């Protein structure tokens, strides 16, 4: 986990690049939320 | 001679003066002729029954009726007094015994009620059979046994707040967090690293999952604490303290021992017991109030949980969410502390109640000082337990570090 965080910290973006990434990250996070809720629904049934 | 006698009766102020021996003789006359007074009283009563009652019934004037009612009562009092006087104090003795018996019954009733109140202190919380009530019940019956409050009200409010305010708060916090990161990226040439950019979204995912499942999450600490209380209850055998009931026979002053006490002692004991009863009644009610209050507090925290959890996304507002979590944990922990206090209360109170019910420690002679002292100890124990229940919330906050 520490190595992963270190690798993520090593990748740097300028402000413009960051602005471009925000929508992608937002959609990605919505996808993760949807996936987790789907798994919970399939496992728990609620 | 007759003129002189008349003159002697007049004073300078014009009032009629009566020789003292004459007055004494007049006052003594009814005492010396009690049976005549009794007959007169009976005749007076009969006259009222025969002549005035029909008039009263026939009278349409309410003032006349009220006046006749008063006259009837006066006649009754005069008649009773005359008959009592005629009986040479026999009726007076009966009245004195009646009053004494009344006071003894009052003392018995007060003692029984005090014991009920003190045992109700824990009994209503724990239930007669060790069945938990109020906050000690299940999560869906924290405020009374009707589970519709939780199912139809708290859950619905919670669901509405998730979709309306909770998610909105979370989105606002996400924008705030992203704005902070992107502003920081523009201030330095190095820009922003991927981890910093990920963090608001990671918290967004976490916050979203927390909010959607906040109902289960809020219930979880309570269920864990309930497991603790159940384990403790099983370990110490609740029957020792909680399942005690008030003595079935609350006749402490009976026909056998009533002659040991004077009427004044019983009156003063009843006077003391009244205040002890009042105190125990107030404290027992207060204890139940606190238990219900905590249940309501848990429900309120559960209902508004989505709003508070929404603040977890941004760094600047995360303290609000963690503060809310700490306070909620403090409330749940206070539930466990109240459980411990009620265990202590039940042991302490039941001990004193049984001590009083034994009757062997009421004090020697006429004074009943032992009984009064024990009752005051009972009141002090009740008050201490009530105050401890009141402070349980503050104690729990000290444990989680927000006191």
Instruction: Check if A35 contacts B (Cβ < 8 Å).
Output: no
The whole-angstrom distance between B203's CA and the closest CA on chain A is 10
Is residue B23 scored above 90 in pLDDT?
no
Is residue B36 scored above 80 in pLDDT?
no
For residue B95, give every residue at least 6 positions away whose Cβ sits within 8 Å of its Cβ, in sequence order, or none.
Answer: B84
Instruction: Check if B369 contacts A (Cβ < 8 Å).
Output: no
Return the pLDDT at B77: 65
Q: How far is residue B68's CA from residue B48's CA, in Å, rounded to a whole number?
A: 9
Return the pLDDT at B65: 65
B47-72: per-residue pLDDT in tens? 666 666 555 555 566 666 666 666 66
Q: How far is residue B401's CA from residue B403's CA, in Å, rounded to a whole number?
A: 6
Cα B4 to Cα B7, B10, B22, B85, distances in angstroms: 5, 10, 17, 38
Which residues of A are less than 8 Å from B212 in CB distance? 37
The whole-angstrom distance between B188's CA and the closest CA on chain A is 9
Provide mean pLDDT across the span B190-216.
Answer: 88
Nearest CA in chain B to A31: B205
Q: How far is residue B195's CA from residue B205's CA, in Å, rounded to a whole number?
A: 15
The β-bridge partners of A13 are B192
A1-46: per-residue pLDDT in tens? 888 888 888 888 888 888 888 899 999 999 999 999 899 888 887 6
Which residues of B are less than 8 Å from A33 in CB distance? 205, 208-209
Return the pLDDT at A8: 82
Lowest average pLDDT, out of B8-22, B134-148, B364-378, goes to B8-22
Instruction: Check if A27 contacts B (Cβ < 8 Å).
Output: no
Q: Which two tokens stand for residue B56?
A: 């009263």
Nearest CA in chain B to A32: B205
Q: Which two tokens stand for residue B3?
A: 């003129």
Q: Could you give the 3-state DSSP secondary structure of residue B16?
A: strand
Instruction: Check if B217 contacts A (Cβ < 8 Å).
Output: no
Q: How confident is the model at residue B42 (pLDDT cuts 50, 70, 90)?
A: confident
Return the pLDDT at B48: 64
B334-358: per-residue pLDDT in tens? 988 988 888 788 778 777 777 777 7
Return the pLDDT at B3: 46
B307-324: per-residue pLDDT in tens? 999 898 888 888 999 999
Return the pLDDT at B249: 57
The whole-angstrom distance between B176's CA and the closest CA on chain A is 13
B277-305: per-residue pLDDT in tens? 888 888 878 887 888 888 899 999 999 99
Return the pLDDT at B376: 84
Which of B178, B192, B212 is closest, CB to CB, to A12?
Answer: B192
Binary contact (B182, A9; C-beta < 8 A): no
Is residue B2 scored above 50 in pLDDT?
no
For residue B217, give every residue at least 6 positions away whose Cβ sits within 8 Å of its Cβ, in sequence order, or none.
Answer: B210, B305
Instruction: Check if A28 contacts B (Cβ < 8 Å).
Output: yes
Residue B136 DSSP class: G
Length of chain A: 46
The β-bridge partners of B16 are B10
Return the pLDDT at B141: 81
Angle, to 10 degrees, between the axis of helix B167-187 and the axis of helix A15-44?
150
Q: How far is residue B235's CA from residue B253's CA, in Å, rounded to a whole number?
A: 39
DSSP one-letter string for A1-46:
-HHHHHHHHH-EE-HHHHHHHHHHHHHHHHHHHHHHHHHHHHHH--
State the best of A3, A6, A25 to mutate against chain B, taking most chain B CBs within 10 Å. Answer: A25
The whole-angstrom distance between A42's CA and the closest CA on chain B is 15
What are the φ/ψ torsions at residue B316 (nearest 5 degrees)? -70, -25
Instruction: Check if A44 contacts B (Cβ < 8 Å).
Output: no
Is residue B128 scored above 50 in pLDDT?
no
Return the pLDDT at B110: 84
Cα B186 to Cα A28, B105, B202, B315, distances in angstroms: 24, 87, 22, 19
Return the pLDDT at B242: 53
Q: Could you give the 3-state DSSP secondary structure of residue B10?
A: strand
Q: How many Cβ atoms sit within 10 Å of the Cβ of residue A20?
A: 11
Provide mean pLDDT across the span B377-381.
Answer: 87
B211-224: per-residue pLDDT in tens? 988 898 999 999 99
Q: How far is residue B184's CA from residue B205's CA, in Å, rounded to a whole number?
A: 22
In chain B, the percentage of residues whose pLDDT exceeds 70 is 69
Lowest average pLDDT, out of B22-26, B140-144, B211-215, goes to B22-26
Q: How far is residue B327's CA from residue B44's CA, in Å, rounded to a whole number?
A: 78
Size of interface A-B (CB pairs under 8 A): 60
Q: How confident is the model at residue B73 (pLDDT cuts 50, 70, 90)?
A: low
| Mean confidence (pLDDT) of chain B | 77
Return the pLDDT at B7: 47
Return the pLDDT at B394: 93
Return the pLDDT at B132: 47
- 0.90 surpassed by complex ipTM: no
Q: Which two tokens stand for residue B331?
A: 């409330």
Residue B363 DSSP class: -
């Amino acid at each position: 986990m520490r190595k992963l965080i270190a690798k993520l910290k090593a990748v740097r973006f300028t402000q413009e690049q960051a602005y471009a990434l925000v929508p992608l990250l937002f959609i990605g996070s919505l996808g993760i939320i949807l996936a987790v809720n789907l798994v919970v629904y399939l496992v728990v049934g609620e | 001679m007759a003129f002189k006698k008349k003159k002697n009766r007049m004073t300078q102020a014009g009032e009629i003066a009566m020789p003292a021996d004459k007055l004494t003789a007049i006052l003594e006359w009814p005492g010396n002729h009690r049976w005549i007074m009794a007959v007169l009283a009976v005749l007076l009563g009969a006259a009222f029954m025969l002549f005035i009652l029909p008039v009263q019934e026939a009278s349409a004037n309410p003032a006349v009726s009220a006046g006749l009612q008063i006259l009837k009562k006066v006649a009754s009092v005069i008649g009773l007094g005359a008959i009592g006087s005629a009986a040479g104090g026999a009726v007076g003795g009966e009245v004195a015994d009646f009053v004494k018996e009344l006071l003894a019954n009052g003392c018995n009733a007060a003692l029984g009620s005090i014991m009920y109140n003190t045992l109700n202190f824990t009994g209503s919380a724990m239930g007669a059979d060790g069945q938990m009530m109020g906050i000690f019940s299940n999560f869906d019956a924290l405020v009374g046994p009707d589970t519709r409050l939780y199912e139809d009200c708290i859950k619905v409010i919670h669901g509405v707040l998730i979709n309306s305010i909770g998610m909105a708060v979370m989105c606002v916090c996400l924008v705030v967090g992203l704005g902070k990161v992107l502003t920081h990226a523009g201030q330095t040439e190095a820009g922003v690293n991927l981890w910093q950019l990920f963090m608001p979204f990671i918290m967004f995912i976490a916050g979203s999952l927390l909010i959607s499942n906040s109902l289960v999450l809020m219930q979880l600490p309570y269920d864990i604490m309930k497991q603790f209380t159940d384990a403790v209850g099983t370990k110490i055998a609740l029957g020792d303290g909680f399942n005690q009931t008030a003595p079935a026979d609350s006749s402490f002053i009976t026909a056998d021992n009533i002659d040991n006490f004077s009427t004044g002692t019983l009156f003063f004991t009843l006077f003391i017991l009244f205040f002890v009863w009042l105190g125990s009644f107030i404290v027992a009610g207060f204890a139940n109030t606190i238990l219900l209050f905590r249940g309501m507090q848990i429900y309120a925290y559960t209902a508004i949980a989505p709003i508070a959890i929404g603040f977890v996304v941004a760094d600047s507002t995360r303290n609000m969410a963690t503060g809310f979590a700490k306070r909620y944990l403090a409330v749940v922990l206070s539930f466990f502390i109240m459980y411990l206090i009620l265990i202590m209360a039940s042991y302490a109170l039941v001990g004193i109640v049984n001590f009083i019910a034994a009757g062997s420690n009421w004090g020697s002679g006429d004074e009943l000082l032992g009984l009064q002292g024990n009752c005051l100890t009972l009141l002090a124990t009740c008050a201490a337990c009530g105050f401890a229940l009141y402070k349980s919330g503050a104690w729990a906050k000290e444990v989680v570090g927000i006191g």
